[in-house]
Amino acid sequence: MHPLNNPYMKVLKKIKLSTYSCSVTFMVTDDVIEKVNSIYKKSKLNDTFSDVVEGVVLSFDMDNYYLIISSQYLTHDTIAHEVYHAAVRVSEDRDVTDEEAQAWLAGYITGEIYKFLQKKNLPIKHGRG
């Protein structure tokens, strides 16, 4: 069985960003809503997520960020879209608004995600999900 066909399979990679003193945890899941609500619960947040989305970036503090993508929408487009949000959130949380710094950060996160997906043999679709 392919890992993405198993909703209980953990597909995640913690990407350490030493320059920014934080990490981005990248996740691919069959159920984004369930995964976000699980993170809310572990973070002791009394919030509920119910949006149907292709992906999402979460942060509750400046140390940990979560980039979550639905397995149904594991596409180059969705990865680029969510990585952009993550890079901007990490940098702007630190008052870094320089586009070049954000672009380098987006490139680094993207490279780490693609290496991880290749290692896991997870297929990435072209275009929209």
Tell me what pLDDT residue 49 has: 75
pTM of the model: 0.88
Position 40 pLDDT exceeds 50: yes
Q: How confident is the model at residue 79 (pLDDT cuts 50, 70, 90)?
A: very high
Top-confidence residue, 123 or 102: 102
Q: How far is CA 91 from CA 55, 85, 94, 111, 113, in A?
A: 20, 10, 5, 17, 18
Q: What is the average pLDDT across 68-83?
A: 95
Q: How confident is the model at residue 129 (pLDDT cuts 50, 70, 90)?
A: low
Tell me what pLDDT residue 1 has: 47
- Distance, in Å, from the CA atom of 59 to the CA atom of 90, rounded to the nearest integer, reads 9
* DSSP states along 15-33: EEEGGGTEEEEEEEES-HH
